[in-house]
Amino acid sequence: MLDNSSHIHRLFEGAPSTTEFKKRRKRIVRNVREAIEQYGMVERDARWLVCLSGGKDSYTLIAILYELKWRGMLPVDILACNLDQGQPGFPASVLPEFLDRMEVPHRIEYQDTFSIVTDKIPKGRTFCALCSRLRRGHLYRIAREEGCSAVVLGHHRDDILETFFMNLFHGGRLATMPPKLLNDEGDVFVYRPLAHVAEVDCNKFASDMNYPIIPCELCGSQEGLQRKQVKKILDGWEANSPGRRQVMFRALMNARPSHLLDSKLFDFIGIKKSN
């Protein structure tokens, strides 16, 4: 990496000089570049609406995208965006001040979805589904207003694995967050460039860079969430067999329809003997 003052973006100012940090940074850059190329995320004259929550994952996302853009490996225009959802006590000045200081073009949008979610969802039920739908609708609208072809999210490998097991355990289907998705209207892509990046790398990278992390006080503060339960199971598996998460993630890229049970994906009736 070229880290003298004339060759880095301000998002990397003050980066640690340790070998451990340099290896992690290089690994994340490689993972993101692989995902972008493997899933065909770059289109001609693209403009991306990169969504920032203020969490460790979104800081990692914007920094690595600028790393790739700075090195001439990501020919897209980037507009950072934070959707302030009206959560009580949300430090609304943190992200705009950070993005101004980093000289990152951005849009801050205020929409009080917090009140809607807490009004509609009964006490004791989780907010995630409704909160996500409301947030996604606003992000699609902002993308259209800003001429962006894609909404870019900070979900990482572990988010994708957790979603797979949530669908398996609670939804009765084999599905997860895809790295690339076209919205129902067919006019905006959803990209997840961190799809191959481990959560631990995001955590350590954002911590090492001392980015101003904003905790989620809405869904992240609720107890008994299915995602928390699944995460605990995966943590146990990883502790007993280090590397288990990566093995399971590779399985998501190695599906064999003929060895599953979905007759819509494989023509079992049409199988014929050769003699």
106: DSSP letter: E
Establish how many alpha carbons lie within 13 A of residue 155's alpha carbon, considering only the half-sphere containing its beta carbon: 19
Per DSSP, 45 falls in state T
Residues 6+ apart with CB under 8 A from 85: 111, 112, 113, 114, 131, 134, 135, 218
User: Which pLDDT tens digit goes with each residue over 169-224?
Assistant: 989 999 999 999 999 999 999 999 999 999 999 999 999 999 999 876 555 444 45
Other beta carbons within 10 Å of 146: 15
Q: How confident is the model over 248-275, as a mean pLDDT?
A: 94
Q: Catalogue all structural domains in the chain, each as residue range(s) with its CATH number.
A: 10-255 (3.40.50.620)
Mean pLDDT of 39-46: 92
What share of the chain in percent tops pLDDT 70?
A: 87
pTM (two decimals): 0.89
Contacts of 28 (CB under 8 A, 6+ apart): 60, 64, 197, 201, 202, 205
Task: Specify the pLDDT at position 7.
Answer: 58
